[in-house]
Chain A
Amino acid sequence: MAYKVPRPNLTFAEKIYLPSVLAGLKITLGHLWRMLRGKTHVCMQYPEEKWDSHLPDHYRGAPTLVSDEFGRTRCVACQLCEFICPPRAIRITPGEIPTDDTFAKVEKYPEQFQIDMIRCIYCGLCEEVCPEQAIFLKKEYAIARTSRAEMMHNKAKLIEMGGLQPGVVNKWNEKK
């Protein structure tokens, strides 16, 4: 059955269309005027102004390696993050800790720890899987370099970015 669409009964002012042109101009020029007086703050001038202080704690930026209160890298080179990493961005070369070391019972440490930031998808699975809470996604997000080699974060770079994060896992400390 045919459905009859009810047509609105337009007034004369609506039919000649010009008043609505003026009404539209009033809205757009109002926006223009507020912008010109600097009353509207919508855009952020990116490199000069940043949103960094508003980032939540759970923000997933670049993955980094954190150190404990002794300045020791928490990573024990278990390679779980390497295995879970979906884009296979992480490459770890494990090394053995000598028996005369203070932390000899830890046994392994990462000799090399590389994260390819071209591959990394910032999913945070490495942080989630880490039993030692050694790898954390920090708030740095502007990872843009001029070469592929620079996009490869090595161990020194990751430790530098991670910084100190004491008091998370204490199982390797001396027994009190």
Chain B
Amino acid sequence: MNAILQFLSDPLPFLVWTTLAKSAGLLGVVLVMVSYTVYAERRVSSLMQDRLGPNRTGFPTSLLGFGIKDWSPFLGGLGQPIADALKLLLKEDFTPAYVNKFYYWIAPGLGIGAAIISLAVIPFGSSIAGVDMVIANVDIGPLFVFAISSLGVYGIVLAGWSSNSKYPFLGAVRSTNQLISYELALGLSIVPLILIIGKLNLVEIVSYQVQNGWMLLPGITAKAPHLPTLEQFLTWIPVFIAFLVFTISMFAETNRLPFDLPEAETELVSGYHTEYSSLKFALFFLGEYTAMITGSALIVTLFLGGWHFPGIPDGSAAGWLGVMWGLVNIGVFLAKVVAFLIFFIFIRWTLPRFRYDQLMKLGWIWFFEIALVNIFITALIVTYVH
């Protein structure tokens, strides 16, 4: 027993098992979040449209003898994600005869794989018992996320092309087009942040924000919240522009309305996954919502102080106190991500879809230029402030 413990606390095995544990934990949390985001999407959209949404498939509390109603107009339906997952698992997995089988089969995996892998560099908490709450503490954080999440488009493109059918093909073409118009603005829009912070490591970006105030709300630091100073206000201006461009580009990147042209139901049946059914469709669905979570997590990490909340210390304290605060930090991070997901949902059910040329114009003529000019403004301001 002691030998095993000794082995597990050696540096290399320790790194391996903590990383595996963190990966498994994060994956579990994210998958649960995905299924409940779908539920939230359905409920929130229906409440916004004066409907009620799924409110019947509750957990059978009355069978267990609690004497509570299994459904209620507002809180019922919490069992809906489980029922949905079962339905998707049990449906017939139909592969049309005319598809290119190899690419047709790997496309859903590529879609969800890219979304999940990019979660690896996101710091989702401070530290618990000295272990950093990030799976891969690498010095190329945002670049890694952009590189991997652009691979996600291969899932869509291969799905559309291998389906050998016109609507998926159009969806795939649109997706490629949309991606190259927004990837540029997405990447350029965070250059001002990197100019200000001077680091590319997401863990260090968060600790910079803990020390010097959140990028978007510069008054909130680890010390008492205060009104931003003149220097902070000046640097806040390009950060705010970057935030707007980044968030809107993220909507396009994750194929959410108002930029969901790759799967525009009213125009393309259901876009690139028209020919998919059962679990393969579920994987696309999962990938789409995981990408949403990754996007929100990145925005929270870059602009909203990551796991930090004023008044809550990080997990560096000794013993169980440190573990508790570490868990609270993870909770704060997830709460911020959830808030952003709900914002995504609000936007989706408010705005109509952009026309195709409007989307291109927005990406190439507006965001690309704004992001470029913003870099120069930031450079000037940073020079002035220093």
Report which A residues bind B (CB closer than 8 A).
Answer: 21, 24-25, 27-29, 31-32, 35-36, 40, 42-43, 45
Contact = CB atoms under 8 A, between A and B. Distances in A.
Contact of B350 (A28, A35, A42): A28
A69 to B, nearest CB: 45
Contacts of B51: 42-43
Interface of A is mostly: helix
A24 B48 CA distance: 11
Nearest to A43: B52
Given A40-B50, A43-B51, A32 B350 contact: no
A43 B349 CA distance: 19
A28 B73 contact: no
B351 A32 contact: no
Contacts, number: 36
A40 B46 CA distance: 12
Contact of B48 (A21, A31, A42, A43): A31
Interface residues of B, number: 14
Given A43-B52, A45-B73, A21 B47 contact: no
Contacts of A27: 350
B52 A28 contact: no
Nearest to B73: A45
Contacts of A29: 48, 346
A65 B87 CA distance: 44
Contacts of A25: 346-347, 350
Given A25-B346, A29-B346, A42 B73 contact: no
Q: Which 7 A-B pairs have the closest CB atoms?
A: A24-B350, A35-B47, A28-B350, A28-B48, A42-B50, A32-B48, A43-B52
Contacts of B349: 28
Task: Specify which of A21, A28, A45 lies most central, judged by the most chain B CB atoms within 10 Å of its CB.
Answer: A28
B52 A32 contact: no
A24 B351 contact: yes
B47 A32 contact: yes
B173 interface: no
